Amino acid sequence: MLSAAPRQSESGARTLLKAEALEKRFGGITALADYSVNMGRGELLGLIGPNGAGKTTVFNLLSGVFKPSAGRILLGDRDITAARPDRRAALGIARTFQNIRLFAEMSVIDNIRVAFHMHRGRGLWPTLVHTPAFRRAEREMAERAAEFLELLGLQDVRRERAGNLPYGLQRRTEIARALAADPQLILLDEPAAGMNPNETDELIAVIERIHHRYGLAVFLVEHDMKVVMASCDRIQVLDRGRVLCEGRPADIRKDPRVIEAYLGTPRKGSRAGS
């Protein structure tokens, strides 16, 4: 059966991300209340829930787009509750967006290079003079970029303007860009949205690969149950701004509360709005 915190084996040193009693209010509306999460290094965690449950709010709080109304966020031992988004990115939290937000005017490769440069780029002088250190860094970046392009099947479109790509490829470019930021934790916000079953299968494979190859912790918000069930070690269910339950995929699938949250009780109008 389900317990409130199923994998307590992730003790102190192995904990990567910890959020405690996060709350977010917008005016009089509480979008998220008493939200806590404990993520281990290299863990694959899923977050599901009906529309409007507060899933994207969780990501916005973790990546620093919003400041929480209450609660705190720890990355490793560091309190990042007040840290700006760029600082959090530098500390190793990368994300993608539900509605894709690429640098549409830039090429695929440049989108990836933006993320690289922020972490390992060089200053003006080495760039203009092409010092050996600069050339070495450029070569390393090119190799890593090639690796991510290959991993996500983007080699053939690397020079395309990102805004011109079909939807599925834009999603993958976003994931590649997030990887290039050299994260410890990657937040994927509905990566399967708008994908056909084939693309979804490929996506599941990609998530598995980045998880295994780079040992990354992946936090996945997803509507598509197939993706969550196939990918995640552990799932949190959010409903109307609160954590409903948390557990292994097999248990979540059977949990009556989850079924109720998704399908609604026979009483009308009990579903959370979108």
Applying CB under 8 A, the residues found at the interface with other proteins are 63-65, 84-86, 89-90, 95, 97, 101-106, 110, 113-115, 117-119, 121-124, 127-128, 177, 181
| Contact residues for 211 (Cβ-Cβ < 8 A; gap 6+) | 42, 44, 218, 231
Angle at 226 between CA 253 and CA 254, to 5 degrees: 5
Q: What are phi and psi of 67, to 5 degrees?
A: -95, 135
Q: How far apart are CA 153 and CA 199, in angstroms?
A: 12
Closest distance between other proteins and the C-beta of residue 247, in Å?
A: 30
Residue 194: CB minimum distance to other proteins, A? 19
Nearer to other proteins, 64 or 191 (CB): 64
The 10 Å Cβ neighbour count of residue 207 is 24
Minimum CB distance to other proteins smaller for 31 or for 181 = 181
How far is CA 198 from its chain centroid? 21
Name the residue nearer to other proteins (CB basis): 63 or 200: 63
Question: Min. distance of Cβ 249 from other proteins in angstroms?
Answer: 29
Minimum CB separation of residue 176 from other proteins in Å reads 12
Rounded to a whole number of angstroms, the minimum distance from the CB of residue 197 to other proteins is 29
Nearer to other proteins, 38 or 57 (CB): 57
163, two tokens: 């805004």
User: Cα–Cα distance between 48 and 55 in angstroms, integer?
Assistant: 7
Q: Which CB sits closer to other proteins, 103 or 262?
A: 103
> Cβ neighbours of residue 33 under 8 Å, at least 6 residues apart?
23, 241, 242
